[in-house]
Amino acid sequence: MIYAVWLPPLIPLIAVPAARHAADRLAPRAAARLLVSCAVLLACSSTAALGALAALGLLRVNQVASAAGFSPEAPAGHTGPALWTAPVATILLIAGFAQVIRVAVRHHRELRSEQRAIGPTAGELTVHPDEYPYAYALPGRRGKPGTIVVSAAMLRSLRPDEREALFAHEREHLAGHHHRFLAAAQLAAVLHPALRALREPLAYALERRADEAAAHAVGDRKLAAKAIGRAALAARESKSPAARRGAILATVGGAVPRRVMALLQADDATQPARRRCWTCAVAVALLCCLALSAATGVDAVEDLHLNVAHGADPDRAASVTSASWAR
């Protein structure tokens, strides 16, 4: 376990750049799913590894070991470095879970604050008579649909056909539950700092997905691109509180010039053969990193279980270890 337990916290240093590269070559929906899956899997694997070290540290405490019927002597298969790193792993684990709770509570409060401001009788579209332009998708509560919140200033800055593209963009955010993707990536980034680099490409992929839905709804990619560009230009100086909150999906989020260029590009653009080969190599490397991270995380937990069994019942643990080697 002493060797396997170090891999899950280190693998994100390689997997995160590979995931960003692969997401740039995928369709927006596939890119968003890839990024959030990588973030959650890598965060869970590294947390499991830290949990194994933290549990080992607790079992070295006489009072805890006695209560669990475990011998506080050094478990078989463990060496010194794993023991002295146990307190550090415990501190990191507690700090990570505390941050997860703090971020989750803040996320929940932001959504509830906006939902109370809108009111329980709000329909699909809510227009605020504000002087600064903004537009965002507000998720609904359980069993209730979300709401598209837009200011009167934003509506005045767009033509009628551009407004339809704006509404279609926000409807896609609500229908796809994109706020859950962002929340999952944000919580994963709290558990492992290297995963913070996945939040920006994930937000871009979600915005691109909504842009494509808007272009499909109005039947004109250039019109959708103009609506996005005009809305971003109008909201550049926006002072809307919701635009600064991570729980809210604003229309002007992400790299707007890059989104506009993506909409104006042809759908059938193909990549050179060399670039396709490089993309496939990166994808294979990413899959290997994810598989290795998951496998080593599970191995660390299983190894800890065998060590605990050895401390509680050495004869039974020996028979279990022999059986596992025989398989």
Q: What is the pLDDT of residues 161-170, one digit of tens each?
A: 999 999 999 9
**Does one domain contain both 123 and 169?**
yes
**Does one domain contain both 6 and 130?**
no
Does residue 94 fall inside a structural domain?
A: no
Q: What is the predicted pLDDT for the residue at 56?
A: 72
**Does one domain contain both 76 and 206?**
no
**Does one domain contain both 263 and 124?**
yes
How far are the Cα atoms of 32, 86, 94, 263 from residue 303, in angstroms, in the given order?
A: 34, 15, 22, 51
Q: What is the predicted pLDDT for the residue at 224?
A: 92
pLDDT in tens, 270-311: 455 565 676 677 778 888 888 888 887 777 667 666 655 555
| Of 269, 284, 306, the domain-final residue | 269
**Does one domain contain both 207 and 252?**
yes
**Does one domain contain both 259 and 326?**
no
Task: Rank 51-55, 104-108, 317-321 by mean pLDDT and report only the highest.
Answer: 104-108
Give the C-alpha separation, 203 to 321, whole Å: 46
For 51-62, what is the mean pLDDT? Answer: 72
**Does one domain contain both 125 and 70?**
no
Q: How many Cα atoms occupy the beta-carbon half-sphere of 156 within 13 Å?
A: 9
Does residue 101 fall inside a structural domain?
A: no
pTM score over 0.75: yes
Q: What is the predicted pLDDT for the residue at 66?
A: 58
**Does one domain contain both 194 and 253?**
yes
**Does one domain contain both 218 and 242?**
yes
**Does one domain contain both 221 and 158?**
yes
**Does one domain contain both 157 and 193?**
yes
**Does one domain contain both 126 and 32?**
no
Does residue 161 fall inside a structural domain?
A: yes
Give the C-alpha separation, 288 to 280, whole Å: 12
Mean pLDDT of the chain: 78
Q: Which of 256, 286, 288 is nearest to 25 (CA)?
A: 286
Min mean pLDDT across 81-95, 106-120, 179-193, 239-253 is at: 239-253
Q: What is the predicted pLDDT for the residue at 219?
A: 92
Does residue 95 fall inside a structural domain?
A: no
For 147-153, what is the mean pLDDT? Answer: 90
| Of 226, 253, 269, the domain-final residue | 269
Q: What is the predicted pLDDT for the residue at 317?
A: 43
pLDDT at 319 over 70: no
Does residue 102 fall inside a structural domain?
A: no
**Which residue's structure tokens are 């990588």?**
38
pLDDT at 201 over 70: yes
Domain that holds residue 245: 116-269
CA diameter of the chain: 78
| Of 249, 269, 289, the domain-final residue | 269
Give the C-alpha separation, 285 to 288, whole Å: 5
Q: What is the predicted pLDDT for the residue at 78?
A: 47
Model confidence band, residue 256 (pLDDT cutoffs 50, 70, 90): confident
Span between the terminal Cα atoms of the chain, in Å: 19
- 72/158: higher pLDDT: 158
pLDDT at 210 over 70: yes
Does residue 111 fall inside a structural domain?
A: no
**All residues at 6 or more sequence positions from 139 whose CB lies less than 8 Å from its CB, including other chains:** 111, 146, 174, 177, 179
Does residue 313 fall inside a structural domain?
A: yes
Does residue 281 fall inside a structural domain?
A: yes
Q: Work out how many domains the chain is built from and give that number.
A: 2
